[in-house]
Amino acid sequence: MSKSKFALGAFFGAIAGVITGLLTAPKSGKETRADLKVKKAAVAADVADKIKTAKAEANDLASDVKDKAKSTVEDVKNNADDLRRRTERAVEGAKRGFRENE
């Protein structure tokens, strides 16, 4: 099981636990509703923080991938240029050798 699935399950489990606890507590309806509003605001703030963190991590990851892709493309270009130069030298050497043997 991935960490994100576990965290999501733990999050929803915590919410269910809080709601169950509030609904079974020996309080009046008015007090329970007030408690639910407070808990709702706390959970909403927590979710907003988690979303903000996830977005920042996703942006960082995207930036890293972009940088690695640029580096890989540059390496491939350099290797291709090197191979082209070596091939051209080999062809020129073969032409010279062919001319000398005629």
Q: Using an 8 Å Cβ cutoff, are 22 and 39 in contact? A: yes
Put simply, whether the predicted model's pTM sits higher than 0.85 gets the answer no
Which segment of 25-29, 33-37, 45-49 scores lowest on mean pLDDT?
Answer: 25-29
HEC states along 15-73? Answer: HHHHHHHHHHCCCCHHHHHHHHHHHHHHHHHHHHHHHHHHHHHHHHHHHHHHHHHHHHH
Find the mean pLDDT for residues 15-43.
80
